[in-house]
Structure 1
Amino acid sequence: MPSDKSTPAKKAAAKKAGAASKKASAKKAAAVKKAPAAKKVTVAPKKATARVKGTAPAKAVVHPPGDESRTALVRRARRINRELAEVYPYAHPELDFDNSFQLVVATVLSAQTTDLRVNQTTPALFAKYPTPEDLAAANPEEVEEILRPCGFFRAKTKSVIGLSKALVEDFGGEVPGWLEDLVKLPGVGRKTAFVVLGNAFGRPGITVDTHFQRLVRRWQWTGETDPDKIEAAIGALFPKSDWTDLSHHVIWHGRRICHARKPACGACPIAPLCPAFGEGETDPEKAKKLLKYEKGGFPGQRLRPPQAYLDAGGKPAPPLGAG
């Protein structure tokens, strides 16, 4: 008889243990189920790639982009430069010059006008005033008349005569090859100084002109607006040895494809790497019509550069003062 009484108790205990076991199993299964979901939420690589290839306007993003790491930014920036080097293998300063004096004068004259206009003006200027001594002693009114087509001709006359006098009085009639000396010359700022250093003396420098500023912001290399801060930010992304060629590549691209108002996005060789793709015309055929064919060739051209930039052997001439 006692065994009969103990049977229901055993059954109840077994039932209770089974229920507890089932409850524990259910909790465990729920915990296992939730774990993968939490992992999915934190996956970020796709997002970063989408931003690089997406169409979000550059002005909506600050530097550095929130979903692009510093390492990713450096890699993307350097890849863009490599792609542009393939497209513009003969990128060079588009001002005509034969020596460092002509280069510094032409660069000062290029402010607020085109290189083409400067190149049309400087032959007469240098024919009449071939040396710093000649220009330093020039009649300002005669120089103004020559420089009139360049715009702001009075201010530019004052600058080129002033810098010529400074060269004669302070540097023995020679253009100095150091940044701290160049920026002391009237009309010469860091931008002009780096053009001269990079192309007349072979010393690396970043030329932050309007094209350069526009493109590096579109590409989200930096969100800075001050030229000196832009120079510092971009310089930190590249080895110093790349700075001069990088400047040429970016400026050439800005003049030929990535225009201020209507960039030719559909004809752009770096479109997959550009966060601002879509700001301009994306249809390839329509975009081709927006390309600007300037001196030195057009996007994709791999022919020889203009004769003026070839040496006696028919090869691209090195920068003045290099080697």
Structure 2
Amino acid sequence: MKKPIVNKIFKILSHKNENPRTELVYKNEFTLLVAVILSAQATDISVNIATKPLFEAYDTPEKMLRLGEIGLKKYIQSIGLFNHKAKHIISLCNRLINEYNSRVPSHFDKLLQLPGVGRKTANVVLNCLFNQPTIAVDTHVFRVAKRLGLAKGNTPQKVENELLEVIDQKWHQYAHHWLVLHGRYICKARKPNCTICPLKRYCAYYKELV
């Protein structure tokens, strides 16, 4: 897709919501990191329901470490893959306390070394906490980017690289938020609502339909 068209797409998305934010609810840097880890293969709504009582009582690595893996599972058992996530989060608490003075690191490579943190999580944290212009590719971004024709890659990392190349840097700060929200509420996985989509004139998927 040519960059002038990409600019038109993001101008439309930005007009609807100039300063989009993550829909995950958090109290501080640590709780956002935990929430993003929990959101893998889970909805933000389900994560927010589980973490509301959790974060009220355990909002630091020290507190959550004392809660322990078994105790944490009781709070997050409604979330998919909760056994693995509980194990990762408790290990994460240990690493943050011992290596980073209980602070969340602001460097991509250091984040990737933490238990339970992949590219998407690291990019979300850098973007939301440290205002870095990263593009996190989750299932919504992956789907929407390919449907629109912004990217063709068959892996999240390839799509991430394509998006960073084709999207003008002025949009990078909020690009993944706009694509996530578009995928969550309009360009849904099973039934995309093309009739109300403000991007359909530029969308490769829609052009195939009509």
Q: How would you bin the TM-score normalised by the shorter chain?
A: over 0.9
Q: Which runs of 5+ in 1 are unaligned?
A: 1-71, 283-323
Query: What does residue 4 of structure 1 align with?
Result: none
Q: Secondary structure at the match of 1:108?
A: helix
Q: Which amino acid aligns with 2:201?
A: P
| Shift in alpha-carbon separation, 1:190–1:153, aligned structure 2, 3 A | same
* 1:180 and 2:109 aligned: yes
Find out whether 1:206 has 2:135 as its counterpart: yes
The residue that corresponds to 2:119 in the other structure is 190
SS at match of 1:95: coil
Which residue among 230, 240, 243 is the counterpart of 2:159? Answer: 230
- Counterparts in 2 of 1:62-211, with a 5 A limit? 73-211=2-140
Larger deviation, residues 253-262 vs 135-144: 135-144
Residues 149-176 of structure 1 deviation map (CA, whole Å, 9 limit, x = unaligned): 1121111101111111110011011001
Q: Where do 5+ consecutive residues of structure 2 fail to align? A: none
- Residues 149-204 of structure 1, C-alpha deviation per residue, up to 9 Å, x if partnerless? 11211111011111111100110110011101111110001100111111111111
Q: Distance in 1 between matches of 2:206 and 2:30?
A: 40
1:268–1:158 distance in 2 versus 1, CA, 3 Å: same
CA distance, structure 2, for counterparts of residue 145 and residue 98 of structure 1: 20
Q: Which has the higher helix share?
A: 2
Tell me the secondary structure at the aligned position of residue 251 of structure 1. Answer: helix
SS in 1 for 2:131: coil
For 1:81-134, what per-residue CA distance to the aligned partner results, in whole angstroms no more than 9, with x for missing partners?
A: 111111233421010012111110000000111100111111221122121111
**Number of the residue aligned with 1:312:** none
Distance in 2 between residues matched to 1:175 and 1:147, nearest whole Å: 21
TM-score, scaled relative to structure 2: 0.94
Superposed CA RMSD in Å reads: 1.6
Aligned CA distance change for structure 1 residues 240 and 182 (closer, same or farther; 3 Å): farther
Give the Cα separation in 2 of the matches to 1:110 and 1:131: 19
Contact 1:113 1:151 (C-alpha < 8 Å) held by counterparts:
yes
CA distance in 1, matches of 2:119, 2:80: 21
1:270-294 CA distance string (max 9 Å, x none)? 11111211677x8xxxxxxxxxxxx
Counterpart residue number, 1:17: none
Instruction: Give the aligned length.
Output: 210
Q: Give every structure 1 segment of 4 or more consecutive aligned residues whose post-TM-superposition deviation is greater than 3 Å.
A: none
State the secondary structure of the residue aligned to 1:166: helix
TM-score by length of 1: 0.62
Matches within 5 A, 1:1-40: none
Larger Rg: 1
Identity of paired residues, percent? Answer: 35
